[in-house]
Structure 1
Amino acid sequence: MRAGPTRRLESQAGNSHLHGAVCHGSLHREVFMLRPRLVVVSLLVLALAACAGIETRTDYDPGSVDKLTGYRTYAWLPSPHTQNSQVYNPIVESRVRKAVEQELQSRGYQEVSQNPDFKIGWHGAVDQKLDVQTVDQYYGYAWDPWYSPFYLGPSVPETRVREYQEGTLILDFIDAASNKLVWRGTAQAELRESASASKRQERLNEAVHGMLKDFPPKPKK
C-alpha cells in the first residue's frame, strides 16, 4: 500500500487550510487543533487492532477421510471432570452443544443415543494475554518537511499495554468403531466479559462454523 499520493493530496488541502488560517490570524488555534485529531486517530488504530476476530484451525487423520465422509450420526462424550468452573459449567456446555448441534444438523447430521458413527468431545481453556501496541502520533510514519511548512515537532511513539483473556475451544471427533481421534478443530478468540448472553452464543456459533465449514475434509487427489 503506497501512502505517497494520499499524503500529497492531504498536504495540498492542509496547506490551503493553514494558508487561510494565516490570513485570518488564527494559525495558533489551527496548529494546536491538529494534535488532538492525530491522537484520536492513533487511539482508533489501537481500538481496531484490539478487535481481533476468531482464529480457527483444523487437523485430521488422512487415512480416515473415507470414514469422515460417510458419517451421518453422532453422540456426545461425557463432559470432562475438572474444577475449572469458568470453562466447564452447565451454561458454557449448553452453549457449546447448541452451537455444534446447530451446525451439524444444518448439514444433515443427526444425534442418536445408540450406535453413532462418531462421538464428540470438547475442551476449553482461558489464558491471560498481553497486547502491546506502539503507534506514532503522526499516523505511524515519519513527518516529512514537505508535508507542511508548519512543523509540529518530532513524531513521538506511544506504547500501550492491554491485558485481556483469550479463550480456546477444541472439538474432537472420535470414530465410534475404533475409538480413535480422526478430526480436531480449534478456535481462539479474545473473551469480552461485558458481552451479553446472546452475543456470547453468537461468538460460539461463529467459532464452530469456522471450524466445520470445510467438514468433512475432501480426499486429496
Structure 2
Amino acid sequence: MRLPSRIAPLLVGLMLAACSGIEVNTNYDPSAVQQLESYRTYAWLPTPEGKDPRVYNDLINNNLHQAVDRVLQGRGYRQVAMDASPDFVIGWQGAIDSKLDAQTVNSYYGYGWGTMWSPYYGGGVGVPYTYVREYEEGTLILDIVDAKAKQLVWRGTAQAVVDENPTAQSSRERINEAVEEMLERFPPQPEQ
C-alpha cells in the first residue's frame, strides 16, 4: 500500500477538524442603528416550542439565557419584565440539520524524472479518493425585536458542526462561544 492511501483518511480528518469552528453572521435594519444604540433594557420572548428535543429543551434554553444575559448585562443592559416596557425583546430559534461533506484527496505525490524541458518532467498520475462524511450542523438564531414597534431590527446566526456525543460542559461552552461571537456585533456600528 502506498503512503498516500494510508495517510489520506488522516488528512481528510484533519481538514474537517480545522473547519469545525462556529460561523457567525448578523443582519440588521440600517435605519434602526441609532435606535439600537439607545436601547438600555430588554426582556425575553416566551420560550419557543419546537419538535426537536435536542434543541428545544430546558437545558439549552437556560444555557442560552444565561449566556445572553451575561454578555448583555456585562455591557450595561438591564433585563426587565415584559410588563415593564423594555426597549427590546429577545427571541431565539434553533435547528439541527443533516449535511454531507465530500472531500477528494489526490494520491499523487512526488516528482517525475528529468528536467523542466524533458517530456517526463512533472509527476505521475494517481487515483484520487473521495471521502463522504455525514454530519449534523446546528444553527442558532438570536432575534432582537423593537418592543414598541414590534419589528425585527437585528438578527444573529451561528452555525457549527454538532458533536456526536456532547457533554453538558461542551454544550454550554459552544452556546457561550456562539452567543459571544454574535453579540460582539451588537449593536451594529453606523455604516460609513
Aligned mates of 1:39, 1:99 — CA distance in 2:
44
Aligned mates of 2:14, 2:44 — CA distance in 1:
38
TM-score by length of 2: 0.86
Aligned mates of 2:179, 2:68 — CA distance in 1:
6
Aligned mates of 2:85, 2:51 — CA distance in 1:
31
Helix, strand or coil: the match of 2:32?
helix
1:144-163 per-residue CA deviation (whole Å, 9 max, x = no partner) reads 2149xxxx974221111111
1:61 and 2:29 matched: yes
Aligned mates of 1:86, 1:196 — CA distance in 2:
13
Aligned mates of 1:191, 1:45 — CA distance in 2:
21
Which position in structure 1 is the counterpart of 2:119?
A: none
Structure 1 residue runs of 4 or more that deviate by more than 6 Å after TM superposition: none
Which position in structure 2 is the counterpart of 1:91?
A: 59
Which position in structure 1 is the counterpart of 2:77?
A: 109
Segment of structure 1 superposing worse, 119-128 or 85-94: 85-94
- Cα distance change, pair 108–41 in 1 and its aligned pair in 2 (3 A): farther
1:81 and 2:49 matched: yes
Helix, strand or coil: the match of 1:131?
strand
- Structure label with greater radius of gyration: 1
Structure number having the greater helix percentage: 1
1:186 and 2:151 matched: no
CA RMSD in angstroms, aligned pairs only: 2.1
1:144 and 2:111 matched: yes
1:46 and 2:16 matched: no
Aligned mates of 2:130, 2:50 — CA distance in 1:
39
Which position in structure 1 is the counterpart of 2:117?
A: none
- Cα distance change, pair 178–54 in 1 and its aligned pair in 2 (3 A): same
Which stretches in structure 2 are left out of the alignment for 5+ residues?
115-122
Aligned mates of 2:28, 2:62 — CA distance in 1:
26
Cα distance, 1:40 vs structure 2: 4.8
> Residue 142 of structure 2: which of 153, 171, 176 is its match?
171
Aligned mates of 2:87, 2:9 — CA distance in 1:
51
Helix, strand or coil: the match of 2:177?
helix
Q: Percentage identity across aligned positions?
A: 50
1:124 and 2:82 matched: no
Cα distance, 1:81 vs structure 2: 2.6
Which position in structure 1 is the counterpart of 2:120?
A: none
Helix, strand or coil: the match of 1:82?
coil
| Counterpart contact for 2:94–2:138, Cα < 8 Å | yes
Aligned mates of 1:54, 1:156 — CA distance in 2:
33
Aligned mates of 1:84, 1:199 — CA distance in 2:
19
Aligned residue type for 1:128: S
Number of residues of Structure 1 aligned to a counterpart in Structure 2:
181
Aligned mates of 1:70, 1:40 — CA distance in 2:
59
Aligned mates of 2:14, 2:76 — CA distance in 1:
38
Which stretches in structure 1 are left out of the alignment for 5+ residues?
1-31
- Cα distance change, pair 110–40 in 1 and its aligned pair in 2 (3 A): farther
